[in-house]
């Protein structure tokens, strides 16, 4: 099968309008590019994935946390609902985070209480809850295509990318504004710059180590660099993707204590 046919099958499988294959004259819209990159990052079916987050300072690991993320698209909003369980270190095991309907809750079995939090709540280093949750950027942002350019990826390899400017369109967005760099040939995310409400760059993320997972080639590692102190780096590694029957009941706040024990 020709490559253009493979691309068409990929995007149709995720319910996304097929984009022009590389070399074709038509330029995809900013919305189409972001939706295609969402399909690369996120499986379209309910799934589970294991995350290992490690914070480094001057190349030395100083903190880590391991999570299990369960995600499912809400058919009404087309955005993901997530429930996250802390698995390690022992001091955090059993804690949980829920994102559903724009609300985010944190549950601590020690206090047996769930409290409302923001997506910017820190996990490890520069990684926040909003960084580990599965989200469709196309849902929460209005995208503008800045143009085509060449950037270096995390391995210092030059990539021809679409440069996009994304502005939050809902109160559910984790960041007010971000710049997004998506490879033209593959629609894989290469790099992102995240901004605060005041317009200050908070961090820069690189997506790398692409591998097959649940029917597509996805990034299995994200490197997050502190925009102020570049000696501070957080690495998120994704493993053990698997399709899963994710129950709707899991996304109820009242279910969090039970989920944390399972």
Residue 254: exposed, middle, or buried by beta-carbon count in 10 A (0-12, 13-18, 19+)?
exposed
pLDDT tier at 19 (50, 70, 90 boundaries)?
A: low
pLDDT value at 11 more than 80: no
Q: Report pLDDT for 259.
A: 82
Measuring CA to CA, which residue among 141, 151, 147 is closest to residue 162? 147
Q: How would you classify residue 78: left for phi > 0, otherwise alpha for psi between -120 and 50, otherwise beta?
A: left
| CA gap 184, 40 in Å, rounded | 13
pLDDT value at 5 more than 80: no
Residue 234's alpha-carbon distances to 205, 225, 227, 245, in angstroms, are: 9, 7, 12, 31
Strand extents, DSSP E, 45-157: 47-57, 60-73, 80-88, 96-100, 103-108, 113-116, 122-124, 127-128, 141-152
| CA gap 218, 213 in Å, rounded | 6
The torsion angles phi and psi of 63, rounded to 5 degrees, stand at -160, 155
- Please, what is the average pLDDT of the chain? 89
Model-wide pTM > 0.85:
yes
Residues 6+ apart with CB under 8 A from 169: 140, 141, 142
Q: Check: CB of residue 28 under 8 Å from CB of residue 36.
A: yes
Residue 25's alpha-carbon distances to 4, 36, 173, in angstroms, are: 13, 18, 33
Torsional sign, CA 84, 88, 94, 97: negative
Q: Which residue has the higher pLDDT, 192 or 170?
A: 192
| CA gap 201, 174 in Å, rounded | 14
The tokens for 251 are 């996304």
Measuring CA to CA, which residue among 53, 55, 85 is closest to residue 69? 85
pLDDT tier at 98 (50, 70, 90 boundaries)?
A: very high
pLDDT tens, position by position, 212-262 = 999 999 999 999 999 989 999 999 999 999 999 999 999 999 999 988 666
The tokens for 52 are 């290992």
Distance in Å from the first CA to the final CA of the chain: 45
The tokens for 58 are 């001057």
Q: Which residue has the higher pLDDT, 170 or 55?
A: 55
Sketch out the chain's domains with CATH numbers: 3-261 (2.50.20.10)
Q: Report pLDDT for 21.
A: 55
pLDDT value at 13 more than 90: no
pLDDT tens, position by position, 54-95 = 999 999 999 999 999 999 999 888 899 999 999 999 999 999
| CA gap 55, 89 in Å, rounded | 14
Q: Report pLDDT for 262.
A: 63
């Amino acid at each position: 099968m020709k490559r253009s046919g493979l691309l068409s099958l990929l995007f149709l499988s995720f319910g996304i309008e097929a984009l022009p294959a590389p070399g074709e004259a038509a330029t995809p819209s900013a919305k189409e590019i972001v939706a295609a990159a969402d399909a690369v990052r996120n499986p379209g079916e309910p799934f589970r994935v294991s995350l290992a987050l490690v914070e480094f300072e001057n190349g030395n690991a100083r903190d880590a946390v391991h999570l299990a993320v369960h995600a499912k698209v809400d058919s009404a909003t087309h955005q993901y609902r997530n429930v996250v369980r802390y698995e390690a270190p022992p001091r955090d095991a059993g804690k949980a985070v829920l994102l559903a309907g724009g609300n985010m809750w944190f549950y601590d079995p020690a206090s047996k209480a769930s409290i409302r939090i923001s997506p910017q709540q820190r996990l490890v280093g520069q990684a926040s809850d909003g960084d580990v949750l599965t989200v469709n950027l196309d849902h929460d942002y209005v995208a503008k295509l800045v143009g085509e350019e060449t950037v270096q990826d995390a391995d210092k390899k030059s990539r021809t990318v679409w440069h996009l400017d994304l502005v939050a369109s809902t109160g559910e967005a984790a960041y007010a504004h971000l710049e997004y760099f998506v490879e033209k040939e593959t629609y894989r995310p290469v790099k992102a710059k995240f901004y605060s409400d005041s317009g200050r760059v908070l961090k820069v993320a690189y997506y790398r180590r692409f591998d097959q997972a649940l029917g597509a080639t996805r990034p299995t590692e994200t490197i997050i660099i502190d925009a102020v102190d570049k000696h501070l780096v957080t690495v998120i590694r994704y493993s053990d993707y698997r399709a899963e029957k994710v129950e709707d009941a899991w996304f109820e706040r009242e279910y969090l204590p039970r989920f944390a024990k399972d």
